[in-house]
Structure 1
Amino acid sequence: MPENEEPEQSVEEPQEPETAPEADTGAEEEPFDAERAKKALSKKNAEAKSLRERLKELEPLARKAKELEDAQKSEQERLTEQLSAAQERIKNVQQRAVRSEVRALAAGDFADPEDAHAFLDLDSFVDTDGEIDTDGISRSLADLLKRKPHLAKPAAEGPRSPRPDRTQGSSGNGNRPSLKPEDEFAGWLTKALNGGR
């Protein structure tokens, strides 16, 4: 409402009496003043017009504020997504570095160094600065070998396992003549045509 306007005057509308219209109570009601009603209506229309104009002026500003807020929000969301992706990449690189360190330290004692990192919590070997605790890995690997000795390399001492001798058996006894594949096929075909004789 503009500052220079006076507070609105209330216009009382005539109400129907609760009793029948024939019964006149004798109380005088204020007669309807058309001039006063026109002034009040005119004043209300002027106020409404003023508010509509102010609304039209403020709508573009509200729209721009909303666009700015949305742009800022989407920029913030984009930066948040980039930060999350960067943190995920850092974690993956740290995991690979720790796995490599575990394999390198397990290569001397484990039969398969790949097994070593499967039994360890790799995140526990990286501190808040991203440094890898190699001493902690060594202690954990030694503890793992105590708990699961079957993961260790077999002892170098002891009986040797036999190796297969390919000269033994039906193909290596020397009794068979060496045939070319085409000669062998011709022999088989001849035998099949003669009824297996």
Structure 2
Amino acid sequence: MSEEIETETKQVEQQSQESEAAPEARESQQEPFDEARAKKALSKKNSENENLRRRVKELEPLAKKAQELEDAQKSETERLTESLTAAQERAAKAVRTAVASKVEALAAKDFADPEDVAGALDLAAYVDDDGAIDSDAIKRDLAELLKRKPHWARPDEGPRSPRPDRTQGSSGNGNRTSSDPGDIFAGLMNQALNGR
């Protein structure tokens, strides 16, 4: 609609310019000056110009409305573009979080600190266009990383058995009793005789 208005406005302007240039061309072709004919031609041109001005005034509100609609549509497009960008950023963050979790879960078995592993790998490389995570590629890269950085490996811990601490219990405070049955019996007799 705005294209039609612009085209019609250009036509009106062009006709106006042609009508202004026409009297000069006619004067050079005509020989004697006829005042009545000049007034009639001038009146005709003034009438045409008035008609053109009126048409332009009629079309101005339509052109303004078309421009407003175009601006409103542009604003809506900008708003939708911003919304789409924000949604894409949230989706990318969710994918990065999912991949990091998968990497940490797979690294927990062999690495002392799985979070270090997630920071050392390019997490985006493990996601395809559909958003699927390639676990096999993660496992391969984890094995390669462990070869390059063996100090990141989890220490080999066999089954842990508690080790006795001799400083705990009665042996640590100097009142250690003997575990010999004769010494135990002698201690009990001393207590009985002393009345304790």
Question: Is TM (by shorter chain) over 0.5?
Answer: yes
Counterpart secondary structure, 2:78:
helix
State the superposition RMSD in angstroms.
3.2
Equivalent in the alignment of 1:146: 147
Equivalent in the alignment of 1:74: 75
- Where does structure 1 lack aligned partners over 5 or more consecutive residues? 2-7, 14-28, 158-165, 168-197
Equivalent in the alignment of 1:172: none
Deviations 1:163-191 (A, max 9, x none): xxx99xxxxxxxxxxxxxxxxxxxxxxxx
Counterpart secondary structure, 2:133:
coil
Shift of 1:83: 0.9
Separation in structure 2 between the aligned mates of residue 148 and residue 102 of structure 1, nearest angstrom: 16
| Structure (1/2) with the larger helix percentage | 2
Counterpart secondary structure, 1:12:
helix
1:35 aligns with 2:36: yes
Shift of 1:30: 3.6
Equivalent in the alignment of 2:135: 134
- Where does structure 2 lack aligned partners over 5 or more consecutive residues? 1-14, 16-21, 159-166, 169-196
Specify the code of the residue in structure 1 equivalent to 2:74.
K
Separation in structure 2 between the aligned mates of residue 91 and residue 30 of structure 1, nearest angstrom: 82
Separation in structure 1 between the aligned mates of residue 27 and residue 137 of structure 2, nearest angstrom: 89
1:110 aligns with 2:125: no
Identity %: 62
Runs of 4+ in 1 over 4 A off after TM superposition: none
Specify the code of the residue in structure 2 equivalent to 1:123.
A
Equivalent in the alignment of 2:125: 124
Equivalent in the alignment of 2:45: 44
Shift of 1:134: 1.3
Specify the code of the residue in structure 2 equivalent to 1:73.
K
Determine which structure has greater relative contact order: mean sequence separation of CA pairs < 8 Å that are 6+ residues apart, divided by chain length. 2
Deviations 1:50-98 (A, max 9, x none): 0111001101110111111111111111111111111110000000011
Specify the code of the residue in structure 1 equivalent to 2:55.
R
The answer as to whether partners of 1:125 and 1:133 remain within 8 angstroms in 2 is yes
Equivalent in the alignment of 1:97: 98
Equivalent in the alignment of 2:27: 12
Equivalent in the alignment of 2:66: 65
Separation in structure 2 between the aligned mates of residue 125 and residue 30 of structure 1, nearest angstrom: 90
Specify the code of the residue in structure 1 equivalent to 2:127.
V
Separation in structure 2 between the aligned mates of residue 136 and residue 122 of structure 1, nearest angstrom: 11
Separation in structure 1 between the aligned mates of residue 98 and residue 111 of structure 2, nearest angstrom: 19
Shift of 1:151: 1.2
The answer as to whether partners of 1:145 and 1:152 remain within 8 angstroms in 2 is yes
Separation in structure 1 between the aligned mates of residue 32 and residue 108 of structure 2, nearest angstrom: 109
Separation in structure 1 between the aligned mates of residue 94 and residue 135 of structure 2, nearest angstrom: 16
Shift of 1:35: 0.9
Counterpart secondary structure, 2:27:
coil
> How many residues matched?
147
Counterpart secondary structure, 2:73:
helix
